[in-house]
Chains A and B, each alone.
Chain A
């Protein structure tokens, strides 16, 4: 890189650090989005599913005769029919020792294990006809014992959901570091609490949707898919439908929200592909809202017992947690349902200096919808438990929560640091972030205001929550365990004859701004205006192979691939320019689409002229000179298995002790994701993440009765945060780039969700403190608050 006068971070006209608007947002604003359900193919059929009304029941007999004769019906398929075209799967990973889960078929062969599980599919000329025909199918069921309460899953007299596995446990784990028992035995104070985290679900505004189009003449399957993980799904479709990978084409255009929900394997989706194979026609499936609630993966659902040892001086000495989480009847394929619990036990306490730590994890089956990874996997649980305990300890000792954190957070000069569970923190900024948020919120003034209002009977609370976030995951996450989910990404870039750039990359766009950020990196490194770079993502045939979008990896991994491709293409362009200008390429650079003399800045040649000469007048170039105007580069994440980020959030709220409602007055978030390519997009990731986290604290819970019936699977009953209840969210930044990459960027997708609920919990308990009561069960509904206050 001797000929690199500038790094990409400080090239002239660099877009790095500029909040440019997203070019691809225009068509969404004009109603010209291309979501999967917007597309209709010739001869296309529509499918509808019959779903189990019971949480656990054997299928005795299916009578579909009337349905077969219904108008428009083309095909009816049950579990056995689909199984002839699609192999079952098992949601385990080799690096989770002892993990077990039964084989899962797209539609069950003999019994349904959760209410809402799809058991039969009908393909018809229209969705309405398919749904009409579903109503004509009669199934004789034999109800089986239901395991709804995960607390009883491991009791000896609880019936087994899968007797062949021997118990109701899919995975367990024990972690221990230091001398935990001794430290607790010697402790001056021990704080003990139990936390509950409701089961909730993604509620993307766009439901899951796909069109499967199997072309029998070539044996090719094309899937138009609302998915954030096209390459993983190409592999899954290939292996489970027995089609070679080269003949599976997955296309993900606009995705109406995903947040980790749209990258798991769903029975309906594989069934839709199988129906296309069986009928030889394209088949569409779009979930309705009820179907989304009962079949999109759920997440969280944890009960955590926590214990903390502290000295009278407020020094945290040890922590011990016991996490029980229920995941439904199957571990979800191919990422498994053990990852969230695994992250809870590894992340808890991770911001603090103590070393004595013990964690127990039990992941158990239940007869409820399946549970799996969703935005900020495990983080909100780990954060809420840790930060809740820190505040409870501070309150018991009479120490201000800020002071408690100052005394215990890992110091900013203590890095690199290895956590008690072996996590490696390259460099974090807990103290700097804490001071920043205190300044933003004017903490002392807020405390004074709180005290003054309390005298008037107005109860406000202030809550802080420090967090760490896993980003830029390497192959340790899935590849190591045998899942064919890539941790590397690739970028392909070509010069168009006009002098514009076409760039395709294997990280995908769901509205977070991936394409914009990638174009900013490409344009900066190339020396071209942003408008000259055209991006393509989400197409397995037209982009390099990669990991796509999950785990806050887009910029940190995909961005580095783009940077390298852009550098390679620029060097190739300068080689052509050197040949044309009869000078060394080393003397040249590109600025604003013009080749310039590096020393004088004089414009010598336009990039468009390079395109014209190289493509159409190669006769004017030296003999045997072959301009390389298309390049591809891949990038493998470097350094520790993950790039950790950190941050802190704060909540200010007012409690109405008469009604049990509380109003969020303001929310602050400081995050440190390293280099920010587009600060506005980072802020919007944080804000959106915060509000998803607030949903968990305020409203969201999938309520099941003891028979495993989902009681609130509508948007009228399952509440989500709406504009009127949500406060303005002020975002601040601390910037600690990672030294393991050129851009220094870490992820930012989960930070908001990681800490929001914990900040609200601490603020609520701060407001409740004069009443000598507290809440540790989310969501914090008015009923729970009134119960805590002894009013109901």
Chain B
């Protein structure tokens, strides 16, 4: 018995994508295996760790908690797209300089979450940064350097405006 495939068309990192997918394929698995966008990481598959965080229709989403078929007609952005667009640049520089990552597995999800925070709150306090990142689990850093880096990136972005 082969599983039924459904047509799917959506915008991924600025390009229109058309594929056929099974109804049960998670968006995270679709991005990783069908689109080879392996920057989206799967850490828990139940929406807690935040490693699979992406942007759907401009809002943060857990790609492990969505089916691929759910993004029909929508706009999806992954770390690869946000890297290419330059939106993550200030954050990446600050994360690099301040070593706000160790193993790097949680990092794409954290960068996307931080980028969203800076869109909504250009100059967040340390407490606001900690609260906003409270859905992104990092086992390596202890978070302090991540907060430092988001703070530094926000200040650099503000100076440029």
The residues of A with any CB-CB pair to B shorter than 8 Å are: 21-22, 25-26, 28-33, 35, 37-38, 40, 71, 128, 202-207, 254-257, 259, 288-289, 510-513, 680-681, 684, 687-692, 714-716, 720-726, 728-729, 752
Contacts and interface: CB of A to CB of B under 8 A. Distances in A.
Nearest to A27: B104
Contacts of A38: 32, 38
The listed residue with most B CB atoms (<10 A of its CB), out of A30, A689, A752, is: A30
Given A29-B111, A511-B104, A724-B131, A692 B139 contact: yes
Which 9 A-B residue pairs are closest in the complex by CB-CB distance? A31-B39, A28-B104, A256-B105, A511-B102, A511-B103, A691-B142, A31-B79, A687-B142, A724-B134
Interface of B: 1-2, 24, 32-33, 37-46, 48-49, 51, 78-80, 83, 88, 92, 95-99, 101-108, 111, 126, 129-131, 133-147
Contacts of A680: 98-99
A730 to B, nearest CB: 9
B99 A206 contact: no
Given A206-B43, A723-B134, A724-B134, A128 B24 contact: yes
Nearest to B131: A724
30 contacts: A22-B96, A25-B101, A26-B92, A28-B103, A28-B107, A29-B92, A29-B101, A31-B38, A33-B105, A128-B24, A204-B103, A205-B43, A205-B105, A207-B43, A257-B105, A257-B140, A289-B49, A687-B144, A688-B139, A690-B142, A691-B143, A722-B137, A723-B131, A723-B146, A724-B133, A724-B134, A726-B142, A726-B143, A726-B144, A728-B126
Contacts of A32: 39
Given A29-B96, A720-B137, A724-B130, A510 B103 contact: yes
Given A38-B38, A289-B46, A688 B107 contact: no
Given A30-B79, A257-B139, A513 B99 contact: yes
Contacts of A256: 41, 103-105
A35 B32 CA distance: 12
Given A28-B104, A257-B105, A205 B2 contact: no
A723 B139 contact: no
B45 A289 contact: yes
Given A40-B33, A71-B1, A510 B102 contact: yes
A31 B99 contact: no
Given A714-B48, A720-B137, 20 more contacts: A25-B101, A26-B92, A26-B96, A28-B101, A28-B104, A29-B96, A30-B79, A33-B104, A35-B38, A205-B137, A206-B103, A206-B105, A289-B46, A681-B99, A688-B140, A692-B142, A715-B46, A715-B49, A715-B137, A721-B143
A754 to B, nearest CB: 14
A365 B24 CA distance: 41
B41 A35 contact: yes
A205 B32 CA distance: 17
A37 B105 CA distance: 12
B3 to A, nearest CB: 8
Contacts of B133: 722-724
Given A205-B51, A256-B41, A684 B46 contact: no
A29 B104 contact: yes
Contacts of A752: 142
Contacts of B98: 680
A777 B88 CA distance: 44
Contact of B44 (A715, A725, A729): A715
Nearest to B38: A38
Contacts of B140: 257, 511, 688
A437 to B, nearest CB: 17
B103 A723 contact: no
A588 B150 CA distance: 46
